[in-house]
Structure 1
């Protein structure tokens, strides 16, 4: 499908032709494609780029924050591999970005199973093409709000041995889950299947982001599916119930195990703040909720 998008640039009408995958509404932005644009990727549509540019007008540091979030995820996977974790599930994968989780995991063990999960069909299509022929990696089209459907998916069952430690990766995804959708219950549903010694990786938009940015971002995203829930430090910590946080705890993602910056480096208030942490499952019996 070819989409012709008309817009105004400096008072001049411009028409942009772009190829749109079947089943995708070219008038609706996707969080995965917006993130891809912020990371400098090309797997996005004009509507995603327009949304991202509106975001950048209220939060100019959104682009470096997105990069820092991605770098945090990669550092977390490398650390878990050093700790002996040999299988990973990434929830809310987003568009393939190098290095990908499986590429990092395979540095330690070329046979390490990795499952990517996303509800965006475009993400799933790109992942299937990228992963074709790799029997140790799979892409699953599913919504993390339905943990049971993810956990019982044939590809997850085929690749993941839940009697052994798992690295559960939820980088930049839970802020798209509203309080009514029970993010803590979603985490708990996955934790109940995981063996002790498994690890949870979370990064999240923080309520410490400058209030003006939160307000303007809410206005910019009204009526779109790319709305975010900013949570406090304590609210994000609560998502790690049953997990023991690794040092240095829940901190800005750019500071977490980043050898290129001194710990707790701070060059001023972040307008668009993302914090992250990694926890080790030590009391799986405490996980509550339901995995339906």
Structure 2
């Protein structure tokens, strides 16, 4: 049984995110052979096609004309035409137009063929050194400070690795907001100009990255950034034995809180910070 009508095919074709050598042979063959290439920016895509000596029909397909052009392309597909969907860079539809067109293809049983290829978020994640077993992609952070802060605060206990895109104009403000809403010690990675000559990947605690990036404007004044934030980890519960508690109680009856914690930690050779947390909770009761 044929799952699709006797129609054309929509190819989703990823294009390089910086280095033209990253395009696949299959992508080039598809761009050469389809009837139409629907692209986010005709001039931008023409640079790619000319580089590889490809000539084809290009039509504009962007956020401003997506609804109108989706209807037009569906008509072409119904007549058996083959169409390649490309964005300015990377995998189409990821923060780029195309969702409506693909949704209509499903409705009209038009075959969709996605090609594998470049994606800034996944490329950066692979080099981040942060767990990639489970992650969530949040796209571009809101431009308005309050909305951005509210979103970051809502994600402060998200256990999965988080991936965002951010522009060069707001990267310093965004890292500052991450510090304020999620924590200065949360581990993050900034990946900028991925695959390009000035590619930069920097990994550290949020407060250290903020200081580092402010030291040199060349670290933030070019290109878009991928921001990767380590997921929230539940604080490890430390068991305080009855023996330690008794020692602390005896010392606390004659000494200050600070002195009692210090001496107890030395006697039992334990982390004084963990004991201090226990002591504070005990004092609050």
Q: Report the TM-score when normalising by structure 2.
A: 0.31
Structure exhibiting the larger radius of gyration computed from Cα positions:
2
More helix by share: 2
Q: Report the TM-score when normalising by structure 1.
A: 0.30
